[in-house]
Amino acid sequence: MADWQMREKRPLRGPVREEAGPTLKNYITPAGLQRLKDEHVFLLSRERPAVVEVVAWAASNGDHMLVFQPLQPGG
């Protein structure tokens, strides 16, 4: 029996609606959120460029152990 014939006989079910879960609590303070945002900015603007610079320097010297290389199939 073809797929379209099965659907004609027995239509697909609609999504089952679930009741809303419990109200989530906010476990972070405004100060804690600000610290996370500050750290995020620091990591993107200072730390990441420094790491990229070191990896690029190592790669230019022939050290490819720091550079991500995907696994080859079968190896």
Whether 56 is covered by a domain: the verdict is: yes
Could you give the number of structural domains in the chain?
A: 1
Whether 19 is covered by a domain: the verdict is: no
Q: Using 50, 70 and 90 to split pLDDT, how confident is the model at 24?
A: confident
Contact of 59 with 67, CB cutoff 8 Å: yes
Q: Is the pLDDT of residue 63 over 60?
A: yes
Q: Model pTM greater than 0.85? A: no
Q: Using 50, 70 and 90 to split pLDDT, how confident is the model at 8?
A: low
Whether 51 is covered by a domain: the verdict is: yes
> What integer best gives the mean pLDDT of the chain?
78
Containing structural domain, residue 31: 26-61
Whether 6 is covered by a domain: the verdict is: no
